[in-house]
Amino acid sequence: MKNLVEFSRRYGSDPELVLAGGGNTSMKENGILYVKGSGCSLSTIEEENFVAMNLEKLLAILNKEYPTDDKEREAQFLADVGAAKLPGEEKKRPSVEALLHGLFRQRYVLHLHPALVNGLTCGKDGKRIAEELFPKAIWVDACRPGYTLAKLLSDRIGPETDTVLLQNHGVFYASETPEGLEKLLEGMMTALKNRLPGEIPEKLEEVELSKPFTPDHIVYCGVGPELPNTVNAHLLYRDAQKINWYAKSFSGPLPLEKELVDFILNWEAESYRKKQS
Ligand SMILES: [Zn+2]
């Protein structure tokens, strides 16, 4: 547990890797998944901010049939995720990606939204370049987060899978050791930096937040003219500028599809995350 808290804070404090309440981490031990609680910040996380879950019960969700209606499905999924918490954890709410954390076989999982990696995941040619640079990694086309994402990956993640790239979102790494996570992250950052024309400039061009790149930009910045004037909004705007610049090395930026933006805007789980920040 000490390891988990230590690397969570370390990665969570690096604004190049994750901003605001984004990103999450987990550990598996004796059939229990300890996953970051929704809405808390990685940079200041304490042991008690992790939610202890029965891994078998959590993974059983993948065998259930869910309604096709968005609202009904998300409500039932949320209730089932809640029911997989261990006794004593009732008041906590696990990360929206808890089920996906459970799918990896390795002990530790690290999920980040680095601007540089998102230059690739938000690049028009991101998928092709990812396959070329990281042939063993799994690439997932932009899709709804939470249940839909985990279900989509349930038969793709195998015992050897240690890297999953999510289009317009971020990256997951899995390893038996914290050092293994570090290696995966470092390796990816180096490979991506080698594709850039040079250092990222201090002054970056303006971006349109009506066309957000990732869920973070929607959750912490809002969409459209009514942008909240907060520190987070500023940081996330800067993040969007960087992604925009990085993505030029991957055939140009590709914002989120409108259908996904609308889903995230109306998703109860994300409004919960936003309230916690
Ligand atoms: Zn994420």
Q: How far is the CA of 113 from the centre of ligand 1 (A)?
A: 6
Mean pLDDT of 109-113: 97
Q: Is the pLDDT of residue 73 over 50?
A: yes
Q: How far is the CA of 80 from the centre of ligand 1 (A)?
A: 21
Length of the chain: 277
Q: How far is the CA of 198 from the centre of ligand 1 (A)?
A: 27
What is the pLDDT of the chain when averaged over all its residues? 91
| CATH class assigned to 2-193 | alpha beta
pLDDT at 214: 87
pTM of the full structure: 0.91
pLDDT at 225: 47
pLDDT at 212: 85
N- to C-terminal Cα separation, the chain:
24
Mean pLDDT of 145-159: 94
Q: How far is the CA of 123 from the centre of ligand 1 (A)?
A: 17
Domain ranges of the chain: 2-193, 215-276
Of residues 13, 39, 30, the one with CA closest to residue 93: 39
Q: Is the pLDDT of residue 60 over 50?
A: yes
- The span from the CA of 39 to the CA of 131, in Å, is 32
To the nearest whole percent, how much of the chain has pLDDT over 90? 74
Q: How far is the CA of 256 from the centre of ligand 1 (A)?
A: 14
Q: How far is the CA of 111 from the centre of ligand 1 (A)?
A: 6
